[in-house]
Structure 1
């Protein structure tokens, strides 16, 4: 499979990923076999690519897929490499995205306090650099982390702020995700 074919295949991944209402809306898969196939394809492409952009994309994708597949330590390892690449390239957007992904992997690995620190750092970086592109993602993941820590009122504040940002952006799927988190709190 080529890199572009893989990227097109990723567009259908949402069909096998869901938010588990029994585990604080953590992402899970309904088809571990297909998810593992996607991981294997991405690993193969990563070994064979010479493009730095493709390498970064594949590593970030693998980080997410390993986390969802239930191998958060592998996700942590590969996402830590993504942060190094982003810093070497002096690409603050990539660094922020990688840090958010790393925070999630760390949370899935049983360290929600460490993950919360990362999300707080990301929010500080966004504000310091006047980078509003990923504030809603950092806030959403911070809220989910607070939710797992039992800080319900603080989590709700995060989700409400996230919802305002996402409504301004107008991305329907992101708005739906945040509303799902708010509805989860109400239950």
Structure 2
């Protein structure tokens, strides 16, 4: 999957694909697996489909899938899944040009992280919130989110996450000048 996805610098690091045909094949396979799947599998498949639809330029379909995931996570009272679903749904809303609602979802994810002492996804929430703020030209706020995400990612020691945040900081600074 990573071989066909890239971050488009000209669009505030939105995920795009080099290979829409491959992406459409993945979508067809996932849609086929949905039929007859159990609830846990449906949560996973709708999450994957939501991301694929978003990258494929179908944000409305992404929003439908990811809303299912969020509702499922809330029903089962699973704060970790709720955080993940809020991040994914926030991204889909951003791709659908609904930045305010996306920011509301990222803020809700931050609240849940704080309330439940879940730090594992905090850097992801901050990174995605920063990218949303960057698209709104709220560049100082975006950089602040990226700097917080970078600190957390350095603690994790994951080089690809660190690189991704450093790329975002570099882009936001270019936009500021």
Query: TM-score, normalised to structure 1's length?
Result: 0.90
Q: Residue in 1 aligned with 2:28?
A: 40
Unaligned runs of 5+ in 1: 1-12
Superposed counterparts of 1:7-156, under 5 Å = 13-50=1-38, 52-156=39-143
> Is this contact kept in 1: 2:27–2:52, CA < 8 A?
yes
Residue 147 of structure 1 aligns to a residue in which SS? Answer: helix
Provide the C-alpha distance between the structure 1 equivalents of 2:70 and 2:40, rounded to a whole number of angstroms: 13
Describe the SS at the equivalent of 1:22.
Answer: helix
Question: RMSD of the TM alignment (CA)?
Answer: 0.9
Corresponding residue number in structure 2 for 1:178 = 165
Alpha-carbon displacement from aligned partner over 1:27-48 (angstroms, at most 9, x marks no partner): 0011100001000101101113
Alignment partner, residue 5 of structure 1: none
Give 1:4's aligned residue. none
Secondary structure of 1:19 counterpart: strand
Q: Which runs of 5+ in 2 are unaligned?
A: none
Query: How big is each residue's C-alpha offset from its partner over 1:132-164, in whole Å with a ceiling of 9 and x where there is no partner?
Result: 111111100110010001011110011011000
Q: Is the 8 A contact 2:5 2:17 kept in 1?
A: yes
Q: Name the counterpart of 2:147.
A: 160
Q: For 1:1-45, what per-residue CA distance to the aligned partner results, in whole angstroms no more than 9, with x for missing partners?
A: xxxxxxxxxxxx010100011111100011100001000101101
CA distance in 2, matches of 1:33, 1:46: 20
CA distance in 1 between partners of 2:70 and 2:172 (Å): 32
Check whether the contact 2:30–2:49 (CA below 8 A) recurs between aligned residues: yes
Report the secondary structure of 1:15's partner residue. coil
Distance 1:165 1:19 in 2: 21
Deviation at 1:56, TM superposition (A): 1.0
